[in-house]
């Protein structure tokens, strides 16, 4: 891996000057557009050489070879519009989504808020996306691009699916199957998201009586439509009680799930440095970033103690540094994901983490 450009150390000043005062959702679109522009102009070819993970970081999980154990969580590229461009930044995997069976605009803006003092975000995006059928050809093209650029050590492509807001809860399984049928063939692994707080009623699907048949149906449909085994994981909330976390672990073993992703955003607002009045003004939504770290570690430790090694654990929530990633790997995570810190640390974040891990 060649040296990273000096700009990697200047990003905090760039953020404070350019992004800090900008509407958070607009800043996301601007930043993502810049990453995609680097790819379209060919500038990312040189970037790829500087950010590609060391071969020693290759990790085999769920029967897949990940160039690095560190990847980008769902939420950044919701629609598969710039996945290949993000891959040039050094992520070992990129999880696209959340994608729903039908297109939907998401919740009204403003719906994304920064808590800069806490290195956190509150979002109530509401699964805004073009729908599974529209996203499917993008994912197909992305897989081809990744294979062409990286060969056998290409970043892994995860696909995260959720419930369409207008679909009744009792009809949710069929809605997930619409997404599965359209997207599983293009996914290296598939994630069922039942833990976002921004779709009314969605978290009720975390109840084991509802979750077990849903996951079984998705697995059957994925394998049927692809003719292969598609690794399947479920993403859970940090707000589950400990006994419910234990129930998820038992269900994962019973169903033979390939993985559990822990955790999604939280509805809690405890221990924040941002003034309470400001937080109240931001309103409802899921909190992510550094304040989630403690609970995320608790859930990771609890799940690892309850799950056999055959069930992969993907830890996410409050990850900022290479030391954070290493801590989670030492506690039993097979892979680690980040998202919120990406907005604060800049485009060379993944490459820095990979360097720290390689040492």
Percent over 90 (pLDDT), the chain: 77
Residue (of 317, 255, 257) closest to 292 by Cα position: 317
**289 is annotated as contributing to ligand binding:** yes
272 occurs within a structural domain:
yes
Residue 293 assigned as binding residue: no
For residue 31, list its beta bridge partners. Answer: none
Residue 114, domain extent: 8-358
123 marked as part of a ligand binding site: yes
Residues (pLDDT < 50) of the chain are 1, 5-7
- Record the pTM: 0.92
Report the b/e string of 192-223 with b at 16+ CB within 10 A.
Answer: bbbbbbbbeebbebbeeebbbebbbbbbebbe
- From CA 92, how far away is CA 57, in angstroms rounded? 9
User: Tell me, what's the pLDDT at 7?
Assistant: 47
CA–CA distances in Å: residue 348 to residues 4, 166, 323:
8, 38, 16
Answer whether residue 133 is part of any domain: yes
Q: Strand 59-61 relative to strand 286-289: parallel, antiparallel, unpaired?
A: unpaired
pLDDT in tens, 244-281: 899 889 989 998 999 999 999 999 999 999 999 999 99
Residue 3 token pair:
């040296």
Q: Could you give the residue numbers annotated as active site?
A: 196
225 is in an annotated binding site: no
What would the pLDDT profile of 99-122 be if each residue is shown by its tens digit?
999 999 999 999 999 999 999 999
121 and 289 Cβ atoms separated by less than 8 Å: yes
83 labeled binding residue: no
Is 318 annotated in a binding site? The answer is yes
Residue 223 in any domain: the answer is yes
- Which pLDDT does position 89 carry in this prediction? 94
62 domain-assigned: yes
Q: Would you state the pLDDT for residue 206?
A: 66
| Phi and psi torsions of 120, nearest 5° | -135, 170
Domain-embedded: residue 18: yes
| Residue 40 resides in a domain | yes
Cβ proximity of 58 and 121 under 8 Å: no
Per the annotation, does 342 bind a ligand? no
**CATH number of 54's domain:** 3.20.20.70
In a domain, 3, yes or no: no
> Does residue 65 lie within any of the structural domains?
yes
What is the tally of structural domains in the chain?
1
């Amino acid at each position: 891996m060649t040296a990273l450009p000096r700009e990697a150390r200047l990003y905090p000043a760039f953020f404070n000057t350019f992004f800090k005062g900008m509407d958070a959702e607009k800043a996301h679109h601007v930043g993502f557009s810049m990453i995609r522009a680097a790819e379209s102009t060919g500038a990312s070819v040189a970037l790829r050489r500087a950010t590609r993970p060391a071969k020693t970081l290759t990790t085999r999980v769920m029967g897949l070879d990940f160039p690095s154990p560190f990847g980008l969580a769902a939420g950044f590229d919701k629609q598969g519009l710039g996945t290949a461009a993000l891959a040039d930044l050094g992520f070992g995997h990129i999880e696209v989504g959340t994608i729903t069976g039908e297109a939907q605009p998401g919740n009204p803006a403003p719906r994304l808020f920064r808590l800069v003092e806490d290195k956190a975000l509150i979002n109530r995006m509401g699964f805004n996306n073009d729908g599974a059928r529209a996203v499917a050809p993008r994912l197909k093209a992305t897989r081809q691009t990744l294979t062409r650029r990286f060969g056998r050590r290409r970043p892994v492509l995860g696909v995260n699916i959720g419930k369409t807001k207008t679909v009744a809860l009792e009809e949710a399984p069929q809605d997930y199957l619409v997404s599965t049928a359209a997207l599983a063939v293009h996914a290296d692994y598939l994630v069922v998201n039942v833990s976002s707080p921004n779709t009314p009623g969605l978290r009720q699907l975390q109840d084991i009586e509802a979750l077990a048949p849903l996951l079984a149906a998705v697995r059957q449909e994925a394998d049927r439509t692809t003719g292969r085994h598609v690794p399947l994981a479920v993403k859970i909330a940090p707000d589950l009680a400990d006994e419910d976390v234990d129930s998820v672990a038992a269900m994962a073993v019973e169903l033979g799930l390939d993985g559990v992703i822990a955790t999604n955003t939280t509805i809690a607002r405890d221990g924040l440095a941002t003034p309470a009045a400001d937080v109240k003004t931001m309103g409802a939504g899921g909190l992510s970033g550094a304040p989630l770290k403690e609970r995320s570690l608790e859930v990771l430790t609890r799940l690892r103690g309850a799950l056999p090694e055959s069930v992969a654990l993907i830890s996410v929530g409050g990850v900022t540094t290479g030391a954070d990633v290493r801590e989670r790997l030492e506690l039993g995570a097979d892979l680690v994901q980040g998202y919120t810190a990406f907005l604060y640390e800049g485009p060379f974040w993944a490459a820095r983490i990979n360097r720290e891990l390689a040492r």
